[in-house]
Amino acid sequence: MRGLLITIVLLAVALVAGDRVAVAMAQNEIGRKIAAEYQLPRQPGVAIKGFPFLTQALDGRYHDVDIQVGDWSQEKISVRNLDVTLTDVSAQLNDLLGGRTSNIVAATATATALVPYDTVRDFAPSGTETISNSPEGLRVTGTFSVEGIPVPATLVVTVAPAEGGFEVTPVSVQAAAGGPTIPLALLRRSLAFTVPLEQLPLGARLTAITPGNDGLHVTAVAHDVRFSDLP
């Protein structure tokens, strides 16, 4: 009986070890594929959730796959802390281990990232000095040109997804002490601007933007993601 128990324990350990080796190989292959397709400076971390991995692999379906990209740049903008979560993923183990990751399909890809305020300010109108979060909302301070006259002011703005990125729009204005009153309509025309974050990896498009102390926290979602459609 003792020998049987030892055999069972050793078999269990071997199965767990084999499971971890297989998942590590699959995760590495997915990370390598994404790094190559997007010319990333380093391979992203990949975590295939769920245990055991091999039962998911035999079925060819995985509930969650997390991809930690970190810093990521497109043509005009860079973001930080880019993470992508794939849900309801279909992929055969022999494809993953054989490098055929183009056959991976995910029902949903949800990407989150941070756009620092310094990056947002690069696209703001001339005269913008600071962008920060506040209890009233996102605040933009600076000296702005109104009908050709430089006027110091603080704006409260909204941010929302728009065609080609996200749009920043003034919703209220407070002139500096002793300064002239500025009609909001003038500022909306001259100080609204767009930050060109067109899309994130895997074709995810912006769905939500939340101001934080360190920048704008953006969320983007894509559906029916196919690795064969990677640009």
pLDDT at 131: 92
pLDDT at 114: 94
Tens of pLDDT along 192-227? Answer: 888 887 666 667 788 889 999 989 999 989 888 876
Tens of pLDDT along 90-113? Answer: 877 676 666 666 677 888 889 899
Between CA 194 and CA 187 the distance in angstroms is 15
Between CA 79 and CA 70 the distance in angstroms is 8
* 51 three-state secondary structure: coil
Ramachandran assignment for 165, one of left (phi > 0), alpha (psi -120 to 50 degrees), beta (any other): left
Residues 6+ apart with CB under 8 A from 224: 105, 106, 107
DSSP E strands in 74-136: the ranges are 78-90, 105-115, 128-134
Closest residue by Cα to residue 185 from 219, 147, 152: 147
Taking only Cα atoms into account, the Rg of the chain, rounded to an integer number of angstroms, comes to 24
Between CA 60 and CA 163 the distance in angstroms is 36
β-partners of residue 152 are 143
pLDDT at 20: 63
* 18 three-state secondary structure: helix
101, 111 contact by CB (below 8 A): no
Between CA 19 and CA 52 the distance in angstroms is 7
pLDDT at 2: 34
pLDDT at 137: 86
pLDDT at 211: 92
pLDDT at 34: 72
Q: What is the pLDDT along the chain (231 residues), one digit of tens a residue?
A: 433 233 233 333 333 445 666 667 777 777 777 777 667 777 888 877 766 666 666 666 777 888 888 888 776 788 888 888 888 888 776 766 666 666 778 888 898 999 999 999 999 888 889 999 988 889 998 888 777 778 788 889 999 988 778 899 888 887 666 555 666 777 777 788 888 876 666 677 888 899 999 899 999 898 888 766 554
Helix (H), strand (E) at residue 56: helix 53-59
Between CA 149 and CA 142 the distance in angstroms is 13
Between CA 149 and CA 159 the distance in angstroms is 26
CA 22 to chain centre: 27
